[in-house]
Chain A
Amino acid sequence: MDPDASAKAFVEQYYSTFDTNRNNLPCSLSRLRRSWCQHSITTVDSQPSAVNSAMLVFVSGNLQLAGEQHSLKFSQMFHLIPTPQGSYYVLNDIFRLNYA
């Protein structure tokens, strides 16, 4: 699979898991108080990070929270490392809301 396709597949899986079952994500994220949220992705960029097929993924989009009329803009980056099983795990994850 080409890197851009891998990055898009990872992003779709990550955010659909976040939006439907946060308990499968790190413990701190499952404690976020909102009952539901919905990520809509605007851009996905990826580059090889030059070691052992690791990949950098840079995402921007909108986050809609339960009960809120307006969505929040966010940017997030992931550093993905291949696993022996042929998948990826997240080594680095940095998230920021982008305030107007």
Chain B
Amino acid sequence: MDPDALAKAFVEHYYSTFDTNRNGLANLYQEGSMLTFEGQKIQGASNIVAKLTSLPFQQCHHSISTVDCQPSGVNAGMLVFVSGNLQLAGEQHTLKFSQMFHLIPTPQGSYYVLNDIFRLNYA
């Protein structure tokens, strides 16, 4: 699969899982994974999923505007850079966000998230 198609497939999987079953994201992180969420630094799969499931909204929908990827030069890793809109349940206007992932291949032929940095883009 070419890297752009792979990045798009990962992005679709990640955000549909986030929007429907945030606990399901635990499989995508490992103990060495790092998330920076709006400047807050969190390490380890269980801590990351605890953070994501504790966000103060029950339902949300990510719509993706752009996906860019490049090989990271690290163990066949891939850098994925996403921008889009986040709709929260009950809110009329969406929030703009940008997010980057550093994906590392697993022995099973899939990818896990080693680095994850998320920011809302305030007007």
Chain A: minimal CB distance from B91 (Å): 16
Q: Is the CB of B123 within 8 A of A96?
A: no
| Range of interface residues on B (Cβ < 8 Å) | 20 to 34
Contacts of B66 in A (CB 8 A): 96
- Residues of B participating in the A interface, judged by any CB pair closer than 8 Å: 32, 34, 36, 39, 41, 65-66, 68, 70, 72-75, 79, 81, 83, 96, 98, 100, 102, 114-115, 117, 119, 121-123
CB pairs A–B below 8 angstroms (27 shown) = A42-B122, A45-B117, A47-B36, A49-B72, A49-B102, A49-B115, A50-B115, A51-B74, A54-B74, A56-B100, A56-B102, A58-B36, A58-B117, A60-B121, A73-B123, A75-B81, A75-B83, A75-B98, A92-B79, A94-B68, A94-B70, A96-B66, A96-B68, A96-B98, A98-B83, A98-B96, A98-B121
